[in-house]
A and B are shown apart, each in its own frame.
Chain A
Amino acid sequence: NAGVTQTPKFQVLKTGQSMTLQCAQDMNHNSMYWYRQDPGMGLRLIYYSASEGTTDKGEVPNGYNVSRLNKREFSLRLESAAPSQTSVYFCASSGRDGAYEQYFGPGTRLTVT
């Protein structure tokens, strides 16, 4: 049982480049989330998916898109990276409608130059 996995662990992009962060969970959870973590800002929700086939915006969705590929996988795409998107990105999943604890992946540290 790997829990929540994320790839890649580290990434450096130039301004304007695109990339997709991958997330997968093997706990049969319905809900999945993408957060970004910046110093002094805590975790801010980018997008979430309450169930397969649905996605909703969080607090800071601008500049990002998501795809809930199936129940296991939830990807985050940066179409045109900007330095303001330099951050640590965490994926999480939860068992039932978000009302139970979230399990977090190891994170992706992204630097945009």
Chain B
Amino acid sequence: AQSVSQHNHHVILSEAASLELGCNYSYGGTVNLFWYVQYPGQHLQLLLKYFSGDPLVKGIKGFEAEFIKSKFSFNLRKPSVQWSDTAEYFCAVNFFSGNTPLVFGKGTRLSVIA
């Protein structure tokens, strides 16, 4: 079965530190890739998405992600985190095999401390 792995369960960073969250998926075919963010007590919101074209995609709030097809990876990055980035981050993949929903990773909790 197709799967999505997020290797970091909980990341703690100081403000202004750089962030990279890993995401790997199991399928070698065509995929659509997403990162969602969930702020405390809120629902999931889309940060960014990749369908095709430039493998470096930019999203909201200064986040970006790079699709590396050879590594089946779609890592999320931000050069300088803020306290307001404290949230849970989910990687999600649409595996092209008919009407299939997104498959989500288990999430990475980011805590940013002053």
- Residues of chain A touching chain B, judged by Cβ–Cβ distance below 8 Å, are 31, 33, 35, 40-45, 48, 50-51, 56, 58, 90, 92, 94, 97-107
Contact = CB atoms under 8 A, between A and B. Distances in A.
Contacts of B7: none
Interface of B: 9, 32, 34, 36, 42-46, 49, 90, 92, 94, 96, 98-102, 104-107
Greatest chain A CB density within 10 A among B36, B45, B101 is at B101
Contacts of A100: 32, 94
Contacts of B44: 43, 90, 92, 104
A97 B95 CA distance: 12
Contact of B102 (A40, A51, A102): A102
A101 B104 contact: no
Nearest to B41: A107
B100 A43 contact: no
A90 B99 contact: no
B101 A90 contact: no
Contacts of A104: 36, 43-45
A42 B43 contact: no
